[in-house]
Amino acid sequence: MKTQPDDSTRIIDLRALQIRSMQADDPARLAAAFADMNKTRAQYEHYWQENVEGSRVTLIALLAGSVVGYTNVIWKSDYEPFRQRGIPEIHDMNTVTSLRRSGIGTRMLKAAERLVQQTGRCVIGIGVGVTRDYAIAQRLYPKQGYVPDGTGVHPNAWGGCMYAVKQLHDEIREA
């Protein structure tokens, strides 16, 4: 746990944080938890379908039984350089607004990395928006060892995206 929070951090007991893979009743819970971000239940139903099909693993973070975050691993990225090299992508990661900067995102990243490592792969990729809306992610990913792949900014509907990769080492298993 962080011991010296500033005004924008909250202390939570990360030992109580549970991260598990998605279940059938999660789409409604996710839509409720992220309603303030205009996320729709339809999007999460789509994720559930892809979990069932095996193309995506959605990881759900829970605190005292409440959904506080989620992320996904997609095995075949839409980003061609990742797809060609067989690099799974961490895709769509969110922590509930009130609990950001408490360590939940870091834990979700590590859970996604462990999942990928368990399949024998040693590289994982991620995309991050380049606008201020993604400020926390832009700082977090390099701190966690994600290095830009050097291809610059890729235009998209949200102001552009950059991609980064991380080499997975044995210590992630212990994290």
Instruction: Compute the least distance from the CB of residue 18 to ligand COA, in Å.
Output: 15
Residue nearest to ligand COA (CB): 105
Backbone angles phi, psi at 87, to 5 degrees: -90, 115
d(CA 22, CA 163): 25
CB of 103 or CB of 120, closer to ligand COA:
103
Instruction: Compute the least distance from the CB of residue 130 to ligand COA, in Å.
Output: 10
With beta carbons less than 8 A apart as the criterion, state whether 58 and 22 touch: yes
Instruction: Compute the least distance from the CB of residue 7 to ligand COA, in Å.
Output: 11
Residues 6+ apart with CB under 8 A from 81: 87, 149, 151, 163
Instruction: Compute the least distance from the CB of residue 120 to ligand COA, in Å.
Output: 26
Return the exposure string of 106-116: e unless at least 16 CB atoms fall within 10 Å of the residue's CB, then b: ebbbebbbbbb
CB of 2 or CB of 173, closer to ligand COA:
2
Instruction: Compute the least distance from the CB of residue 92 to ligand COA, in Å.
Output: 7
Instruction: Compute the least distance from the CB of residue 87 to ligand COA, in Å.
Output: 16
The number of residues in the chain equals 175
Q: Where along the sequence are the contacts to ligand COA (CB under 6 A)?
A: 1-2, 5, 9, 93-95, 100-106, 128-129, 134, 136-137, 139-140, 143
CB of 26 or CB of 89, closer to ligand COA:
89
d(CA 31, CA 42): 9
d(CA 172, CA 50): 26
CB of 67 or CB of 137, closer to ligand COA:
137
Residue of 161, 137, 129, 163 lying closest to 69 (CA atoms): 137
CB of 51 or CB of 68, closer to ligand COA:
68
CB of 5 or CB of 159, closer to ligand COA:
5
